[in-house]
Structure 1
Amino acid sequence: MNDNAEQQPLTVTTSYPESLLAQAFVTALTHEDADTRQRAEARGQRWRQVLSAMTAGRVTVGSRTPVTGYPAWVTPEVMRGGFSTGAVSAGGPLQAHETDAARTFGVPAERRALFAYCLTEPGLARLWDLLDSGGYEIGVPEEAALLTVAWLVRHGESDAAADLVAELEPFADRLRFLPRPAVASASAAGAAVHRRTVSDAVDTLVRRRPNAAVEAQREALAVWQPFGDELLVHWLRNAGDGQVLEAAPDADWLARGQALLGRYRVLAEQHTLCTKHRKPKENLGILRGALEEVVAGRPLEARRLGLLRHAVRSMVQRRGLPGSEAHTALRRGQADHAARPSHYALVQLMLGRLAVLPQDGGITDVTALLGPVSGEESRETGLPAGAVVPAGIGQAVESAMSAPLDTLVERGVVPSAEMMAELVPQLVAAATAHAYGDEALRGVMAANYRAFRKRRSLLLLDLAQQVRVEELPWVRAVSGQRSAVLGASDDEGALAVLRQVGEVAVQAFPGTLLPNPLVREFGVLGRNCDLGVPFVEELAADIFMGTFGPKFLKAARVAAELLRGTLYERYYGIDYAAIRNLAIVTAGQALTGSAGARSHPGFAALCAERAAVTSRHWSVAANGMVIEQAQILTTHNLATLVDRVGIVPRSGWADLAAECFVTVCRLTARVHHNPRPLRTIKDAAYAWRQMMFYLSLCPPAEQRRFLAGLEAETGRHPAQVATRLAPVLAGLALVAEGAAFGEDGTAEAGRARRFTGWTTERHWMR
């Protein structure tokens, strides 16, 4: 289920929460990892809260105000699928910082008392100090409310402050409006973003324990192999030119043997990782056991003597005589290997380096942290100077790198569009806050936005929209303070950020559908630019009910203006002129008030007609076909990014198309012998559609060169890829030559096919 989609079923039952509760219950009982069992138990408890709240009527599933008694701006606690638990994120017992504040303020440890104190002169003075220092943290948006009140009072906006207090006051006893103190100062940040914090990297490294097998091998090389050589040399001294124990040992030999056995006992007590030396059938165990018998004055029985002589002989034959050139080279290499610092020791070194950094931010200079062991560190830790930090440790550190988004993508710190979407709110927070002229207010609004973007989407009915950040009362209260002109020449403005993020997303992940969290951030930036840019979400087929919001037709109009007369229009059999006219008529009707604003039945009917969905019965597959046609008509935001935002990839459109086709081939290869290939086929069709979009922006000569190289690319993949894609390539060649598909999306008796991912029947690519 897609949490972010703004379309829904007519009714919502308890079956989905019940299934997730069952999964959590099984995991909590059966998983081998204790931490996983504990997390599953907590998750199961929250699902029980969801079911209890639903059956008791304490939540309204599908509403923007799901928790009874709270307005839409209050942050609900939301589980997977958009189900509310009935609790709110800023509610619950007092947190530690609230208890500490009550003690400091000299008031009862109650939220209403804290709220009232913050409205007094001393309370406002404390909030003003936080505003000036930035020494606060906003965990949930509500924690920015009192800071905003304080800012309004200090700047003479008494009426706005009073109105805000009046709106907050009914919830003062239940919600947490006080910010959390923090060492690091809150700010609007800048172009640098980070995927994880220094603290996150530390937590990852702290969990790494010594590898028992590796450490046992290190002990064997450093301790037991050299000791075994000493035992072997001792026995060889007895043998002389013959075999061991052909001559009776003399007193000196026995004394040295006694000393060796004493050393063995010390070593065995100090070095316990390797146990091979204790095994009586191993060569070292045979040599040591025989020496104990001889030193004790007990003659060896024939079998044991035979084992001893065989062990001595095999050790010499395998590695050479101790002291020989070959044996010395072998032991030198093993000693060098054993002398290398352990992974665990280098982890401790890195933890020491990270400890001096601010823990709540990213790492700006990763290169310095990943340098070899310095002389000073060598003296402090005993690690050899110049020892190199392993790649595994480096990856944990690099995951907290703070750098421009494109740098993180190039370095592999951000390997997917979904992960990139997690970082974009940091940039959007800075761009959003930049609109405020006052620095302290910028810090509050940036921190508020970052907290707001952690709010999980609700399952909504009737095309209702998710709550937007501008609906929060404290954001509304300072909306008049927005002074920067965004989207013009300001490099830090929303349009610049939108263009930057759009280019990085398309350049780095050309064959990936833009994920909904990223689309949501695009929408925020578009509103901040005041450009009227329509961005549309990926709708979920399992909860789609056949309607589209007005923005889908607006997005299709943008695509029509960009792609009319192109290869894309011909390949997908679109009449973009008709779509543009429909959008113009609809816009005119909206101005006169004769058209509804919540949905557009004409666009939905067009998508259903193009999908050839005839059944009146509800079907996930049929829904998917209709949604796919909407994505085809709108290009799923690509046309908007190109035509309205003005993105231009550095590598050019043809290169993006080529990368998309590589993705198509790679995904098609996964279909072979896949018992559940439909998701892979859909992803391949999405990548193909994006390839068609990029290709359609290329001049004709470049298109011809691209088409000529497709067969060579399929040849770089398993043979079944070329077989499966043959109808697709034939269809593209046919359209490029000026022909067209039939109404069923095929041509030449099925030899050529239009590539789409959804179907109510068995997909031909399986």
Structure 2
Amino acid sequence: MNDDDLRAGTGYPLDRQARALSTAATHPDEATRERAEVRVRRWQQIVDGMTDGRLDIGSRTPVRGLPAWVTPEVAHGGFATGRPAAGGALRPDELDRAHRLGLPTERGALFRSWLTDAGLTELGELLDSGHYRLEYAEEAALPVVAWLLRAGDHDAALGVLERIAPFADRLRFTPAPSDRRADDPDVVCRQTTAEVRRALEQWQPDPRIETMREALTVWNPFADDLLTLWLETDADGRIGTVTPDDWLPRAARLLTRYRELAAAHTRCTRHRDPKGSIGVLRTALERRVAGAELTPRERGLVQSMVTAMLRKRGRPGSARHTAVRRQQAAEAALPRHHQFAALVATRLADLPPDGGIGDVDHALRPVDAAEAPAADAVAGRPVPAPIARIVARGAAGTPEELIDRGVIGSAEVLAALTPRLAAATAASAYPDPALRMLMEATYRAFRNRRSLLLLNLAHQVRLTELPWVAAVGRARTDTGGTRERARRTLVRLAAATVHGFPATVLPNPMVRELATLSKQADLDLPWVEELAADIFMGTFTRKYLRAARLAGEWLTGSLYARYYDIDYPALAAIDDTGRKLFRRARDGVTFDQLCRDRAGRCTSRSWGDVVANGTVIEQAQILTTHNLATVAELGVDLPALALAERCLDTVLRLAARLARQPRPLGTVKNIAYAWRQLVFFLSLTTQAEQVAFLATVDRRGAGQPAHLRARLAPAVTGLAQVIEGGSFGPDGRAGDGRRLLGWTTGGHWLLGGA
């Protein structure tokens, strides 16, 4: 996607809408179809807004009439829908307030009610109690006004009101009440107790399990009764030879029972199969009850079916038959997952809904005697693993603890949880407890703001651009203690990310947190984001050059520099504007051009080719190490060999998936990311350790399937040759070895390409 596409076209939104339409029309799950219908309407709003000029996609103020500080509703890809996120219908607490005060149920009246003496007093009490919850940063505005007035800063309070009052009829500027205060900021959770309970309560019976239970508990016993009835007609091994006196009336009652069962139990349909055991015996029984004799063919079918049933399980009532049916009854009696889910949801009912689950093991304890009847289970039965996984997502603990437990399974999930820790650090500069708690909540809400698609190197809205946050800026005390706390949090989050997920790049939300913490710690460190290839405009900001120069301080002459053929001294010669290279390179070459040259990209005029853009972005990631050198500069302990081994594990795991993936290019890029991390960590070791690591690679490879060894052999060979002092040619080859990159404009050699 290029600049002209964004400003004049609606191709991307229309494509996303078409996908949503397809899902809404064809997906088998009703809830998924409903969500897709919501997306269809949202993309239609975007298309309409772009067409009539209400939306300026790519701008920091994409919605006409709304300032940059307003949180916009944002769809996939960073497209603003035109609606403010903090607008919409009144919350239940707002409706209650309007009814209690006799106000019209509209936002303007509620806004004015908070500015009365009684309203300001109520806001002050809310501030002091801490019993509130912010979903969007705008909801902190009027509490800030109340704090400023209480602090005697009337001018600042009026300044905030002047900025927000024009939007009082569209946005909410007060938080929702909550039953609890924020607890230890060091403790995080992936989902709240309320979210876990909701997921458990929505657990539906598995149709396959319910069908099997119906077969075991309804139709198997009926089949036994049919078989027993026909066995009464046996004489000398021939079924249908005799007819006991009361046989036909009992047969009629059995057929009546069949019709009742068929009407009441509709999951299992095998009994309707005319060639199945029930179908054959029931059809023959209906003919006899109707007064007709069986034809030789019909008698033969009955005889054959009865013989097969006796051979399979034995005669009803025999030891073998009884043992089979007893085992099947035990299986049918097992409690189903939805019953366990309801039981565990009940256990969580007394926990605070807005926090995490402090003792997951207690919530997942085996069924006790008092609970057994409700769960249709026997005491002592453990909670099934699928239920345990749902509950584990609500575990409360430090990020490190949750990573160890497997609750945080990716750097992206970790990034979503870190604003809580970073918020406490950012807010620690406010000495007033009430304001500190409010600013912490504001920070967390602001970090939930979805990024906009921006053009021309524009930056996302910053927290300090919010009028109410700027108004209390003078209340901050920039002490050495605050800076030290920010530094400790910065090191902790960087270490948790790299140690927990060494084979993946730092996700952009984590990069933003680390950059913010660096500023709070008064550390001038270049943290670089991962750029989107579909909207890349061919230009990198200055911090990418700074990050590359910092990488050169760690990696000049290293395995990493030799593997990727990087002349770090030449990078160091680019001036701080990034405009030209002095020494060691021709004049006029910028960092942007250097990345293009390394990617084999000769022109910067057209940036619509996503794959070509990706090759350029990848070169910037290679030159900067995508924050790994910055993490090392920060002083994070990096056990290089252990981290390299974990990167290798990821490479092997991802490579094993390639053969069975219909769209493997994303996996190829992830393999290349992990490989690049591996090369970086190895560069922090000695050559002897690198050679020993290669032996480890060979040993692990020996246990892999032949096709996987063959797939990765060029990458391993190439790395070995560089470790031994060799180098790649201009085509990225070194004999049988290949340099492993993720992006290519042709077929990738990992997938059998040239």
TM-score (norm 1): 0.86
Whether contact under 8 Å (2:656, 2:708) holds in the other structure is yes
Alignment partner, residue 222 of structure 1: 217
Q: Which amino acid in structure 2 is aligned with residue 634 of structure 1? A: T
Whether contact under 8 Å (2:272, 2:279) holds in the other structure is yes
Determine helix, strand or coil for the equivalent of 2:73. Answer: strand
Matched, 1:180 2:211: no
Alignment partner, residue 121 of structure 2: 125
* CA–CA distance in structure 2, aligned partners of residues 674 and 254 of structure 1: 60
Indicate which of 482, 489, 492 corresponds to 1:500. Answer: 492
Indicate which of 353, 358, 361 corresponds to 2:355. Answer: 361
Matched, 1:639 2:629: yes
Deviation of 1:376 after TM superposition, in Å, equals 1.0
* CA–CA distance in structure 1, aligned partners of residues 668 and 219 of structure 2: 56
Residues 224-248 of structure 1: per-residue CA shift (max 9 Å, x gap): 4345445545665675876556556
Whether contact under 8 Å (2:193, 2:357) holds in the other structure is yes
Indicate which of 440, 455, 458 corresponds to 1:464. Answer: 458
Deviation of 1:588 after TM superposition, in Å, equals 14
Matched, 1:210 2:205: yes
* CA–CA distance in structure 2, aligned partners of residues 721 and 125 of structure 1: 69
Q: 103-112 or 255-264: which moved more? A: 255-264
Indicate which of 169, 174, 185 corresponds to 1:190. Answer: 185
Residues 266-324 of structure 1: per-residue CA shift (max 9 Å, x gap): 76676555455566764456666777887899876665555554444433222223443
* CA–CA distance in structure 2, aligned partners of residues 734 and 292 of structure 1: 81
Superposition pairs of residues 428-467 of structure 1, within 5 angstroms: 428-467=422-461
Alignment partner, residue 399 of structure 2: 405
Indicate which of 578, 589, 594 corresponds to 1:606. Answer: 594
Alignment partner, residue 741 of structure 2: 756
| Paired-residue identity, % | 49
Matched, 1:53 2:41: no
Contiguous gaps of at least 5 residues in structure 2: 581-587
Whether contact under 8 Å (2:578, 2:591) holds in the other structure is no
Q: 1:77 to 1:281 in 2, by over 3 A?
A: closer
Q: 1:680 to 1:13 in 2, by over 3 A?
A: farther
Matched, 1:21 2:10: no
Indicate which of 711, 721, 727 corresponds to 2:698. Answer: 711
Whether contact under 8 Å (1:607, 1:627) holds in the other structure is yes
Whether contact under 8 Å (1:137, 1:182) holds in the other structure is yes
Residues 158-208 of structure 1: per-residue CA shift (max 9 Å, x gap): 34323322332333333221222233x242642222222333333333443
Q: 1:186 to 1:9 in 2, by over 3 A?
A: farther
Q: Which amino acid in structure 2 is aligned with residue 696 of structure 1? A: S
Q: 1:303 to 1:177 in 2, by over 3 A?
A: same
* CA–CA distance in structure 1, aligned partners of residues 450 and 309 of structure 2: 66
Residues 702-756 of structure 1: per-residue CA shift (max 9 Å, x gap): 22211223333334444344444444333323322233334554445xx444333
Determine helix, strand or coil for the equivalent of 1:709. Answer: helix
Q: 629-638 or 15-24: which moved more? A: 15-24
Q: How many residues align?
A: 741
Alignment partner, residue 596 of structure 1: none
Alignment partner, residue 99 of structure 2: 103
Q: Which has the higher contact order (CA 8 A, sep 6+)?
A: 1
* CA–CA distance in structure 1, aligned partners of residues 656 and 385 of structure 2: 31
Deviation of 1:636 after TM superposition, in Å, equals 0.4
Q: 1:764 to 1:336 in 2, by over 3 A?
A: closer
Alignment partner, residue 322 of structure 2: 328
Indicate which of 344, 348, 359 corresponds to 2:342. Answer: 348
* CA–CA distance in structure 2, aligned partners of residues 27 and 485 of structure 1: 54
Whether contact under 8 Å (1:657, 1:695) holds in the other structure is yes
Whether contact under 8 Å (1:487, 1:495) holds in the other structure is no
Alignment partner, residue 585 of structure 2: none
Whether contact under 8 Å (1:188, 1:434) holds in the other structure is no
TM-score (norm 2): 0.87
Residues 663-682 of structure 1: per-residue CA shift (max 9 Å, x gap): 33444455559776544433
Q: Which amino acid in structure 1 is aligned with residue 630 of structure 2? A: T
Q: Which amino acid in structure 2 is aligned with residue 109 of structure 1? A: T
* CA–CA distance in structure 2, aligned partners of residues 316 and 566 of structure 1: 76
Deviation of 1:142 after TM superposition, in Å, equals 0.6
Whether contact under 8 Å (1:277, 1:284) holds in the other structure is yes
Indicate which of 533, 546, 565 corresponds to 2:557. Answer: 565
Q: 285-294 or 122-131: which moved more? A: 285-294
Indicate which of 55, 67, 71 corresponds to 2:67. Answer: 71
* CA–CA distance in structure 1, aligned partners of residues 12 and 171 of structure 2: 29
Matched, 1:148 2:144: yes
Deviation of 1:28 after TM superposition, in Å, equals 3.9
Q: 1:552 to 1:328 in 2, by over 3 A?
A: same
Determine helix, strand or coil for the equivalent of 1:68. Answer: coil
Alignment partner, residue 115 of structure 1: 111
Q: 1:403 to 1:225 in 2, by over 3 A?
A: same
* CA–CA distance in structure 2, aligned partners of residues 726 and 291 of structure 1: 68
Matched, 1:136 2:136: no
Determine helix, strand or coil for the equivalent of 1:52. Answer: helix
Contiguous gaps of at least 5 residues in structure 1: 2-6, 590-599
Whether contact under 8 Å (2:675, 2:740) holds in the other structure is yes
* CA–CA distance in structure 2, aligned partners of residues 259 and 422 of structure 1: 64
* CA–CA distance in structure 1, aligned partners of residues 300 and 566 of structure 2: 89
* CA–CA distance in structure 2, aligned partners of residues 46 and 255 of structure 1: 65
* CA–CA distance in structure 2, aligned partners of residues 204 and 137 of structure 1: 21
Deviation of 1:630 after TM superposition, in Å, equals 1.7
Deviation of 1:693 after TM superposition, in Å, equals 0.6
Q: Which amino acid in structure 2 is aligned with residue 334 of structure 1? A: Q
* CA–CA distance in structure 2, aligned partners of residues 198 and 741 of structure 1: 54
RMSD: 3.6
* CA–CA distance in structure 1, aligned partners of residues 297 and 41 of structure 2: 66
Q: Which amino acid in structure 1 is aligned with residue 474 of structure 2? A: G
Deviation of 1:135 after TM superposition, in Å, equals 2.7
Q: Which amino acid in structure 2 is aligned with residue 453 of structure 1? A: R
Matched, 1:531 2:527: no
* CA–CA distance in structure 2, aligned partners of residues 625 and 455 of structure 1: 30
Q: Which amino acid in structure 2 is aligned with residue 137 of structure 1? A: R
Q: Which amino acid in structure 1 is aligned with residue 636 of structure 2? A: I
Q: 1:563 to 1:263 in 2, by over 3 A?
A: same
Alignment partner, residue 691 of structure 1: 678
Alignment partner, residue 370 of structure 1: 364
Alignment partner, residue 594 of structure 1: none
* CA–CA distance in structure 2, aligned partners of residues 718 and 561 of structure 1: 40
Alignment partner, residue 584 of structure 2: none
Deviation of 1:413 after TM superposition, in Å, equals 2.8
Indicate which of 551, 564, 569 corresponds to 1:577. Answer: 569
Whether contact under 8 Å (2:232, 2:243) holds in the other structure is no
Deviation of 1:757 after TM superposition, in Å, equals 3.0
Determine helix, strand or coil for the equivalent of 2:562. Answer: helix
Matched, 1:546 2:559: no
Q: 1:484 to 1:325 in 2, by over 3 A?
A: farther
* CA–CA distance in structure 2, aligned partners of residues 512 and 111 of structure 1: 45
* CA–CA distance in structure 1, aligned partners of residues 84 and 297 of structure 2: 78
Residues 616-656 of structure 1: per-residue CA shift (max 9 Å, x gap): 55253443333222211211001111211x2225xx21122
* CA–CA distance in structure 1, aligned partners of residues 169 and 304 of structure 2: 84
